[in-house]
Every structure is written in structure tokens, then in C-alpha cells.
Structure 1
Amino acid sequence: MFNLHNEDVSKLRFGNLEVAYKFYCWFAKMNGFAVRKGQDVRNKDGVLVQKTFVCNLEGYRKDRRDLTEVTRKRGPKHETRCGCSARLRVHIDIISGLWYITIFSFEHNHYMLTEKHCGLLAAHRKLTKSDQIQIKNYGQAGIKVAQMIGAFANAAGGYDKVGFLKKDLHNQIQRQRKETSSDAKGAVKYLLGLRTKDPLMCPFVVFSGVNHHNQTIIFATAAVSNEVEGTYVWLLEQFLLAMKGKAPVSVITDGDVAMRNAIRRVCPNSYHRLCAWHLLRNAMSNIGNLEFIPYLKKCMLGDNDVWKFEKLWNEMIDKFGLQDNSWIKELYQKKKMWSTAHIRGHFFAGIRTTSRCEAFHSHMGQFVHSKMNMTDFVKQFNRCVCYFRFREVEADFHSQYGNAVLQTPLRSLERSASKQFTHEIFCLVRSVLKKVSLISLCDTQEMASFSIYSVTKYQDEGHVCRVSHSPSNNEFKCSCLRMESIGIPCEHIVAIMVYLDTVEFPTNLVLNRWSKFAKDSIRGNVNDGSHYWDSHLVARHANLVHLSKEVSDLAYKDVDDYKNYLDYLTNEITRLKSKYVGDNGPVNLNGPVEVDNILNPSCARSKGGGPSSNNTTAGRSRRPGTCGGCSQVGHNIRSCPNLAEDGEFPAASSVQSMSVRLSGNNYEGYVNTR
């Protein structure tokens, strides 16, 4: 933390209020808070003589919940005002005209943000004039917001160095649209997505999952030339090697047989689940009855016990007469790969389909297109992954900054959950807290070391769940196994916690992967990864970028200034590059890495895209070329024997054509009369 002593501060003088405000903003950013402009004091002539700048958490939010609970559609924002008393007050010296500091208080009563999160505060996010011009130019070119923020990040050296967020860019675009009479004429439609059947794009395999904010993250990727079992086996072996032998706990894929066999061979202990969406789509094509789908959904996704699943399945088979249907028989044999009743207890984080992967493919379509070569594709894909990683930084900021507004009667438990879970997971836990009123206790059994509580849901007395509680370690377990399946305590457990007058969530009900502190155990071990943050380097880089933008804004207007700065910067770049050439630095900062024995991948299509280009002529001969004059094969128009001496062809009615087919070493032909 960057501190200033009172004796040092008392010596500071500012030429105007703007300089004083920028100084305090700079100081605030270095120390983890933001600044707001406070009260003005004017003399009897109305001249401003005193100004106070306060911490952005000064004061308290007005309580308007009674007015907004009914009309407000979105939930209230976090409460951030906590009555902080930190401030900087300046007063003008009438004689010199300079502003000097009279009060400098650094007594904050709240958590100070780290520098990477402090930069996300609204007071520290600024769009310069050059940024606004660039946004307008991007909009006129039809570039979408995702590409705009990526371009700014590429120019600044990373998303963390841009200086503003994606929503600030949206707000600026909205302001620019209001300034003009119509924005429809200048809009350019952007090419949407990738072509699903492009023969020039290799199949791209993505290993994706979820982080502690329930956001999609990418573990690994690979471009493969085919999608056979042997390729998937090699790919999974390389994935385990990169993960230092740690296999995934659970895997969700479509019904591809080669992929399923590879998972069984390489990751036998991983629980493999089939995508529910693909199964329902296949059911429609194999059964062809719309009334069948709701029954299958109830069997597949319903919160049922095994005995109830068997009952629903048999009722469905009898209703639609599917006793002899081969697809239904095969589907039933794989029930442990898709039935919630059989999968219950295995952790899948609430994921039942591959829709997250499909959504990632859709988002990736904003960065890549079908005409890219392999090198450009990898670069753009890396940009996409970098953006996904920056979303995690944003989510960390929103989870740490401010306190959630309590909305349930169980205020103690809700406050405890807000302090332990990330914001996204806390919203899911809060929805569970709201369901507790529907749960009632119907029986209690006292054992030697634990107690068993039987609970039922309102108007569902036939379904009884049993919650066990061990007072020695304050451990809760429920027969619904939702905690083991999703990692979030169910309403049955919470109801017993309320019955026992528990005020905080026990540690065994807060999975580390869903908590705000999920990355604390690895933060110090990954020095050069996404967790590493050198505030001094970031500050220096941001300062140079800002100065470079200001020079560009001023120097391009005059030809002489432009030439002078162009020569100066060119010489400086040459000097800096030569400075880092040595034993401890790269020989060429921008030079490519030389590699040998790397060949271009063969063209291939992913499954479902039709036959590959290598098999398009399999089983049938290629159509031979014909003469442009007589339409016969075996020659062209220059060597055509039917060409007359005067260069004219005979009448079309008397021309004969011969089709020739190559068979072995002999030519076989037949004659057709036109």
C-alpha cells in the first residue's frame, strides 16, 4: 500500500482543482479505493474557496426497498456505502492562487481492493477522447462489441490494461446513437458464426468446465485430423499428462461411440454422462411422436428415486407400445449414463447437457471465421480464451466488492452465505433459502451419535427426504444427495438448520470450488499464470499507453510534428530492441520461433458434416473431361479430329460422341448418338 505522511502532504500545492482531484484519484487507485467529489464552500462573492473529495463509500444508501420490491424487476445492487470518513480537503491561497491541503484523512472502515480489482471501480474506468473516436469508427465499420473490446485489449497489452469494461463500451455506443438521428443506415451486418460444414476446418476438441463463479472455462484444446477412438485415446492421455495425472471426476459428451470407448479406456473412474439434449433430439427422430417427449423428460430429468423411475419407465413403454423398439431397449441399457435417478450423488455441478460447449462455440464465432489459416485461428482463439479469463477477474471483483442486500427472512444464514459463496453461487443458495418455508418436519429419530430428521414438501407428502445431523462435527447429509450432485445444500438440510437454530453455514456445506477463497491455495504457486499481478509493471505500462495516446492525439494534426515524432519513435524502438539483445534477453522480440518437422494438418470434416474430401470419389470413377467443340472425351478442342479445315464443326445433328472410362490398363467406350 502506498502511504503519504501528513508532513509530506502539507507541503503539496496544486495549480487548480482538477490537478488536486487527479492526485487524489491516483492515490486512491494505488491504495484500493475510489474518490467522489464532495461539498463546496464559497465566499460571499460566490467564489469557490474550498473543496472536499471523499471516499466513494462515504455516506449510506437510502432505504427504498418498500418502493421497489413490487415494481423492480431486477434484484437490488450490492450495498457499498458504509459511512467511510476518509477524505481530502483543499483550500485556496488567495495571494498565490494555489490550492493547499487542509485535511487529509486515511481512516477507512472497509476492505481495500487489490489493484487489479480497484481498476474496475467506476471512478477509475475512463473513456478518453481518442477511445470515443475509435469506438465510433469501429461501429461504422460494423464491428461488434466483443471485437471492439478485443481490439482495445490487443492495443493496450491485455484486457486488464484497457481502462474500461464491456458495459462502458455499450453505454458509449448508446450515447453516440442518441447523438445521431438514426443508426440503422450505418449498421453493417457481421458474419455470424462458423460454417458448420466447412471442409477446410479441422475438427477442434475443447475440454471445458466451470470455475468457482459457475462460468465456462477452458482446460485444454486440440486440433485433430480425425475423430476415431485411437485419436481420442491419445488425446485423453495427453490431457492427463498435462493435468499431472488428475482425471476429471465427471464427463458429459454426446452419444459418440468412439469418444465413449476412449473415456472408458483412459478415464475408467470418471463418471460419464450423456447429453440430455442430444438424447431428446434422437428420441424425436427414432420415435416420431411428440407426445412421447414429455414422458421421457420426466424419466430423464425428474427428481425421482430409482423405484419411481422404473415405474414411470414401464408406464411410458406400455402407453406408447414400445416393448419391441430396439432404440428404447438400447437407451434403457444405458440408463446409468442419463437418468437423474441413477446419476444422483455424482458431482456434475448441475450440468446436464453440452450446451455450455455449444455456447462457447457460438462465442468463438465472434473471433474466428472459416477463411482463417491455422496460425490466425490459434491467435484469435487465444484472444477468446483471454477474454473468458478476464470475465473471471470481473466476477471476483463483484464477489468481493460490497455486501449483498438481504432478501429472505433467514437473514443470518443469508448473510453467512453471502460472505462465503461467490456472488453467482450465492444467488443459487438464496433461491434455496426461499424454499425453506415449503418444508415441514414430520419425524425425528435419535441415534447414538447422530439424529435423523424426516421432512416433506408442501403438498408432496408422499415424497419423504431424510436428513442426518452429527452434532460432534456439525455435519449434515440428505437422502436427496443434491449436495453431492451439485455442491449446494438443499432446502431439506437448510430446513433442519433452521429447526436447530443454526446461524452460519457449516464448512462441510461450503465447497471450496464454490467459495470466494477457491484460488487462495494456489495463488502463491502460480507466479506466471493468470493469478500473477505485478502492480508496478501494470502502472508503468498503463502510464506509457496513456501518454502514447495523448502524443498521437496531438502530433498527427501537424505534418512536421508527425514526421518528427515518427522518426523519434522509430529510433527509440530500435534502441530498445538492441538493449534487450544479449544473454539474458531475447535476440528478437518479435521474431518467430523456428520449428522443424511440423507439417500442415490434412483437411477433415467433423462428424455430422458429411464425407471428407478424401472419400468423395470412393466407390465411383471421376467424370472424364470432354472436348469443348464436339463434347467427346479423350481430347480437347485444339486437337479435335472432328474440326473441319475451315475451323467449323459439322452440324449438331450428325455429330457422334464417345464416352470413355478408364478400366485397368484398357479403355472401354460406348457410342451415343446425339
Structure 2
Amino acid sequence: MSGIFTDTEMNEQYQEDDDINQQEELVCDQDMMDEQNEFLAFDFYLKYLKSKGFSARKSKTFKNSIGEIYKQKFVCHRQGFREEKYYTMEKRKKEPRLETRTGCEARMDVKFVPENGRWHIFYFSDEHNHDLLDTQFSAMLPVHRKMSEADIMQMMNMLKSEISTSQIFGLLANQAGGYEFVGYSPRDMYNEITRQRRQIPGDAARVLKKLEDMRLKDPQLYFKSCQDSREFGVEDKSWVNNMYEEKHMWATAYIKEHFQRCVAHLRFKEFNADYESTCGVPVMQTCIELLERFAAELYTNEIFLLFRPFLSRVGSMRVLNIENNDDCIKMESFGILCEHIVKVLVDRDICEIFRLLLLDKWTKKVKPALNDPSGFSRDAVVISR
């Protein structure tokens, strides 16, 4: 649905639909020209798009001669394109963020009508050039993730009780009834902790005061740790260094009575991995872009990051002899293509991976395949495990 209306047509349209089309108007008080009503229009749009599987951001703002906002544009979160300089950066220190911009033209424009004191939608386009997220993933989009004031207060009180941040997230998830009902990610919680600490003046003084209090309570605290390591000679003992590396021998005792919580956390990590694989596409970094993009759209992000180094090494490979068997057996053992198979595809100008060379469990399509017409959903399959 999309369209552009003039002011006259807009007034006539809303006079006819004023009583029945409540979804296309924002009713406010007479004093409309303030910032709060701009937020009201944006919240109105967010409630709609959350159920559709995408998010939005604020775009252009129009003001009158006295600086009051009378028109605002809200665009899809995939509107526009990433700047070219981010594709040509040299000496990258980490993997670039997923490419989410596709030039989507979906948007909603609202305009203040002083005659009736209301904000009206005078342009609406719901045509996207990308796939919409599943409803279970829409809550993971940044604009929909938000910590409530109650959660922030409870989190800060737990920090004062010296509960670790990772444990706090697990406690809040248990309180909400599961990780899927929290409404924000651990990264959002860490960012909120940093934001709250910046609001409190004298961070350095508080830390020094805490360390001084600890020293007064236990003057030998530092010397104990130093003396033990020197007296008993445990600095370079191999068994001390390997103790926690061999945790598979003793970790079972520590997960007793925590199995279901650990399983819920693993499912939450799996859920985040599924979201990362659907919310965007990795930035192309090799000279074999067509084959690389095909693999990025096919494999999950984790598997694609394992596969891409093979593409990078293909350019420096030289064919010395041809054999009918593959000694590395990476395809047979792990299920992804090795350099030798990729080299054959590149030399033959093949820009896609054949179905026979794919392992379904490494692709993005394996999760939707769990939903069938018989009524068994993926959640039912997971619960039955």
C-alpha cells in the first residue's frame, strides 16, 4: 500500500474516515507542536512494524519558521546503503559488521494538521526489497530492545551485591520466564551499566575508596597472594596451568541442579546465532565475489566464516596434478568444501555450490524445514529432545 496525497485530498479523506480509520491518525491534545508528540508518532509506527518483522529509524525532519516540527519521515531500517569507504578499509582488525542496508524504500510520513490538532499519515509505503524477519526475531532488532526502569534498578542493586554481570542476565531471564522474554541482549545490559556509571560522578574516587576499604579490612591481602605463589613455587607448575583446561574431568559436578538453566542458555545462544544469520549478509572480502556471495546467502554466518578462508587461498593455488580422490577429506569429515573443490569450481567459472556438495545442517534453510504442514513446529521438536 502506498500513495501520495495533497493537503486538500488529505483533509477530505480524513473527514470521511475520521470515525472508522483510527489506525491512520494520532490523536493528541491541542498543544501539538512539541517533541513528545514526535515520539508518539514514532512509537505508533514501531508497534506496527514490530508485528511485521522489521524496524525503522527517524529520517528527515521539517520545521516551520519558529522552529516547531510539523512534518517527520520514518524509514525502514534497511533504507540507504553503506558508505563506500567502509568496504575499502585496509588493515581491518576485526570482522566488519553485517551488511544490512539494501536501499529499501518503505517509509511512513506524518504531518501535523493545525485545523484539527492532529498528526496525520499522508504517505505510507509498505513495499520492501528484502525479506522480512520472522516474528520471533523482530524483537531482537535494536530499536525494539529496551531495558525497563525496574530492570535497570534491579540490575544496579545486584551489582552492588557483587553479583557478576553474566549471572545478573541469567537471573533476569529466569525472572522473566525465559531468555526469549527478556526483551534485550547481554550487550544492551553491559551498555546500560556503562551508561549508569557515567552518570555517577567520581568513579575513580569510588574505586580507590573501595580498594582502600579492602586494604583496611585485610592488610595482608596483597602479600598473601604473592607469598603463596613464591613460597610453594606454583608459578610455573604445569598441573596448575592445565587444571582448568581439563575441566571436562570435573565440570560435571558443578552443573548439578543447573542442567535446565544451562540448556536454556544454550538455546538462547542458538537463537542469537539464527538471528545473526537472518538479519544481514557478511561484507564480501575476496576477489571471487559471486561464489562468495552465493555461499554467504546459503551458509549460516558461523559456517561461512569458516568457508571464506578457502576462497582467499584459492587465488594462490596452482594445479600440479589431477587425482580422483581428495586426501584432505574435509567434505566427508566436516561437511564444507575444501580448497581443492573450490579451486575446481573457480577454474570452471562456476558461481554456485551444487546441491550434492551441501550439508543441510550448515544452511540457513534447515530451521524453516522443521515446520511442516502436519502441525509440528520447531519448538515442539526441540521440546521433544
Under a length normalisation based on structure 1, what TM-score does the superposition of the two structures give?
0.45
Q: Which residue of 1 aligns with 2:266?
A: 388
Distance 2:355 2:49 in 1: 35
Distance 2:348 2:118 in 1: 65
Q: Which residue of 2 aligns with 1:550?
A: none
Q: Which residue of 2 aligns with 1:156?
A: 176
Structure 2 SS opposite 1:110: coil
- Does 1:482 pair with 2:330? yes
- TM-aligned CA distance change 1:430 to 1:356, over 3 Å: farther
Q: Which residue of 1 aligns with 2:361?
A: 513
What's the CA shift string for 1:316-354, capped at 9, x where partnerless?
xxxxxxxxxxxxxxxxxxxxxxxxxxxxxxxxxxxxxxx
- Does 1:37 pair with 2:58? yes
From 529, 540, 543, give the equivalent of 2:380: 529
Distance 1:413 1:359 in 2: 43
Shift of 1:381: 2.3
Q: Which residue of 2 aligns with 1:49?
A: 70
User: Percent of counterpart pairs with the same letter?
Assistant: 34
Q: Which residue of 2 aligns with 1:545?
A: none
Distance 2:75 2:250 in 1: 42
Cα contact 1:59–1:83 (8 A) shared by 2? yes
Structure 2 SS opposite 1:83: coil
Distance 1:395 1:31 in 2: 21
Shift of 1:57: 0.8
- TM-aligned CA distance change 1:356 to 1:114, over 3 Å: farther
Which structure 2 residues correspond to residues 548-559 of structure 1 after superposition, within 5 A? Answer: none
- TM-aligned CA distance change 1:424 to 1:11, over 3 Å: closer
**How many pairs does the alignment contain?**
322
Shift of 1:159: 0.7
Which AA in structure 2 matches 1:403?
V
What's the CA shift string for 1:588-638, capped at 9, x where partnerless?
xxxxxxxxxxxxxxxxxxxxxxxxxxxxxxxxxxxxxxxxxxxxxxxxxxx
Distance 2:76 2:27 in 1: 20
- TM-aligned CA distance change 1:440 to 1:528, over 3 Å: closer
Shift of 1:399: 0.6
Q: Which residue of 2 aligns with 1:250?
A: none
Cα contact 1:14–1:20 (8 A) shared by 2? no
Structure 2 SS opposite 1:91: strand
Higher relative contact order (CA 8 A, sep 6+): 2
Distance 2:269 2:43 in 1: 28
Distance 1:88 1:509 in 2: 44
- Does 1:14 pair with 2:35? no
Q: Which residue of 1 aligns with 2:112?
A: 92
- TM-aligned CA distance change 1:186 to 1:149, over 3 Å: farther
- Does 1:175 pair with 2:195? yes
- Does 1:415 pair with 2:293? yes
- TM-aligned CA distance change 1:92 to 1:521, over 3 Å: closer
Q: Which residue of 2 aligns with 1:424?
A: 302
Distance 1:360 1:168 in 2: 33
Q: Which has the higher strand share?
A: 1
From 493, 506, 510, give the equivalent of 2:341: 493
What's the CA shift string for 1:341-396, capped at 9, x where partnerless?
xxxxxxxxxxxxxx79849949x95xx6xxxxxxxx43x32112101101111100
Cα contact 1:78–1:402 (8 A) shared by 2? yes
Structure 1 SS opposite 2:133: coil
What's the CA shift string for 1:477-519, capped at 9, x where partnerless?
6232121112121111111111111111112222112111223
- TM-aligned CA distance change 1:359 to 1:485, over 3 Å: farther
Structure 2 SS opposite 1:99: strand
Q: Which residue of 1 aligns with 2:139?
A: 119
Distance 2:112 2:249 in 1: 57
Distance 2:292 2:309 in 1: 10
What's the CA shift string for 1:609-668, capped at 9, x where partnerless?
xxxxxxxxxxxxxxxxxxxxxxxxxxxxxxxxxxxxxxxxxxxxxxxxxxxxxxxxxxxx
Shift of 1:178: 2.9
Distance 1:84 1:357 in 2: 49
Structure 2 SS opposite 1:434: helix
Distance 1:359 1:46 in 2: 68
Distance 1:123 1:106 in 2: 18
Cα contact 1:13–1:100 (8 A) shared by 2? yes
Distance 2:353 2:126 in 1: 35
Which sits farther off after the overlay, 126-135 or 413-422? 126-135
- TM-aligned CA distance change 1:392 to 1:356, over 3 Å: farther
Cα contact 2:25–2:118 (8 A) shared by 1? no
Distance 2:288 2:142 in 1: 32
What's the CA shift string for 1:394-422, capped at 9, x where partnerless?
10010111121100011111111101111
**CA RMSD of the aligned region, Å?**
3.0
Structure 2 SS opposite 1:104: strand
Shift of 1:33: 0.3
Which structure 2 residues correspond to residues 139-538 of structure 1 after superposition, within 5 A? Answer: 139-180=159-200, 181-182=203-204, 184=207, 358=248, 361=251, 377-378=256-257, 380-443=258-321, 453=322, 466=323, 468=324, 478-524=326-372, 525-526=376-377, 528-529=379-380
Shift of 1:27: 0.5
- TM-aligned CA distance change 1:416 to 1:44, over 3 Å: same
Cα contact 1:523–1:531 (8 A) shared by 2? no
What's the CA shift string for 1:23-70, capped at 9, x where partnerless?
110101000000101111111222111111111111111111466222
Structure 2 SS opposite 1:439: coil
- TM-aligned CA distance change 1:123 to 1:94, over 3 Å: same
Structure 2 SS opposite 1:502: coil
Distance 2:293 2:274 in 1: 18
- TM-aligned CA distance change 1:22 to 1:94, over 3 Å: same
Shift of 1:438: 3.0
Unaligned 5+ segments in structure 1 are 1-5, 190-283, 286-354, 369-376, 444-452, 454-465, 469-476, 533-674
Structure 1 SS opposite 2:82: coil
From 67, 81, 104, give the equivalent of 1:60: 81
Q: Which residue of 1 aligns with 2:5?
A: none
